[in-house]
Structure 1
């Protein structure tokens, strides 16, 4: 989800408070290198390494003109033929799917019962989901990830996986978020898809073993980029964008940290300015 500066600042404050309150005593999976991550019997899913250049376009059909090895595009708005074309050009392709909010413009909108729809999240037509309802949401998300798999995507970018730090209309906790995020990762891995952790910086230590890469918005603007270092240390890519920061203010640090960084417009069209 594209965050405005105000929303970002609010989210940061609430995330810190919730992490301190909710993570205490939470049973965690071991960090990378200290246990067994989610199973992948075939060992065949894509595992992006640090430093890969990427394109992130969520506005409409993909423009395949960017000469980069990784594309992150909307799973509903792009077809199997679009994914196949990118594959023919030698690209890996990530499927953007919103897993934390209901969207009134998606073809499966009527499959979500009203009981799991919470407060508006600030984006037109979207409402937070009650992520405590794993029994309701799991089959819905399985069908969405089936779509990503069937269209030939290599990975999934599940969005809005930090709702516990926002006013969702539900009393969500950090423990609830950990359980939901791990379920999302498991659904992806069961389908041979790699999966990225979107933002949710306070829970990186608890979720590193479950996710294959990270996607981050505006860590430079909020002086958070070092928090993503565990992914890099584990050999996992961090795909990062800034919206308002000039490249001169963060690209040197991004290169030092080995982040895959660029500037994008908030609408996430085809325009990009990489580091």
Structure 2
């Protein structure tokens, strides 16, 4: 294990919750090229050599690992539509006819409205209360914020600048809670994710498939975590950069271990 990775893993092992009170701590990066497992479809015991685990915000952190908490920061989760409509209807993006803007690629998920400073500030308050505070108090060391690229699927209602300003507020809040923050996908941001929103590392899905892995490593160096969903792309990625960054093969639905369609491999 590299020295820098050892320091990061040591930070992951430090106790951060005592008698239910969150202790103040500095955020730390995931171990560079640490063995990784991506458990969004359900939590399970990882392989013994795994150092980094991503789980949904509703799951528990895993003792002795560097834990990344998944947060769908730019649109609603499918089961949360009624929560948002009841409590925060004005924070949901709407079409010209007043209907909620449903993500065309993710049915049942509705885009959040990042167009004004007031909207962005209000959204951070909701995300903090509903997700980020819980990630910190459970012992996660980082969050990954998904669907940063909603602006590209919003019919030009949203734009990259509004989303980046909102992302920057989320990063600032998470840092104050002792959490590092990963840029999730959105390779087209170039250096703006790191320089403007202040993301600390990147999590990329299928960068080999889309020939964009270097778009992340050029910005974040070795602080990149890559998930591939086909054996061919996984093998190619391991050959090209498996000694530099964390790479894992998972099934598309990232189901828990024990399911017949479960797939997992590490470089």
TM surpasses 0.5: yes
Deviation at 1:139, TM superposition (A): 0.8
* 1:66 lines up with 2:40 in the alignment: no
Do the aligned residues in 2 keep the contact of 1:48 with 1:212 (CA within 8 Å)? no
Q: 1:272 Cα deviation (Å)?
A: 1.2
> Which deviations, in whole Å up to 9, do the C-alpha atoms of 1:39-92 show, x marking residues without a partner?
xxx8721212431111111113x102322001100012x1xxx32xx21xx211
State the alpha-carbon separation in 1 of the partners of residues 29 and 255 from structure 2.
26
| Aligned residue among 178, 181, 192 for 1:192 | 178
Greater relative contact order (CA < 8 Å, ≥ 6 in sequence): 1
Distance 2:209 2:78 in 1: 31
* Stretch of structure 1 that moved more, 63-72 or 115-124: 115-124
Inter-partner Cα distance in structure 1 for 2:120 and 2:132? 15
Query: Which residue, 127, 133, 157 being the options, matches 1:171?
Result: 157
When residues 207 and 248 of structure 1 are mapped into structure 2, their CA distance, relative to the original with a 3 A threshold, is closer
Change (3 A) 1:43 1:59: closer
* Alpha-carbon distance between aligned partners in 2 of 1:173 and 1:231, rounded to the nearest angstrom: 22
For 2:191 and 2:179, the matched residues in 1 are separated by 22
Distance 1:131 1:115 in 2: 8
SS at match of 2:71: strand
* Alpha-carbon distance in structure 2 between the residues aligned to 1:178 and 1:198: 12
The yes-or-no answer on 1:255 pairing with 2:234 is no
Where structure 1 has 5 or more consecutive residues not aligned to the other structure, the ranges are 1-41
Q: Which residue of structure 1 aligns with residue 76 of structure 2?
A: 102
1:115, CA displacement in angstroms?
Answer: 5.1
The size of the alignment, in residue pairs, is 221
1:130 aligns with 2:113: yes
**Residue of structure 1 in register with 2:265 after alignment:** 273
**CA root-mean-square deviation:** 2.1
Q: Where do 5+ consecutive residues of structure 2 fail to align?
A: 1-23, 94-99, 257-262
**1:165 positional shift:** 1.3
**Secondary structure of the corresponding residue to residue 129 of structure 1:** coil
What is the match of residue 153 of structure 1? 140
Contact conserved, 2:171 with 2:181, CA < 8 A, in 1?
yes
- Flag as ranges the 4+ runs of structure 1 deviating above 6 A: none
Classify the secondary structure of the residue corresponding to 1:125. Answer: coil
**TM-score, normalised via structure 2 length:** 0.75
Q: Secondary structure of 2:44's match?
A: coil
Q: Where does residue 227 of structure 1 map in the other structure? A: 215
Q: Distance in 1 between matches of 2:32 and 2:189?
A: 20
1:116 is matched with 92
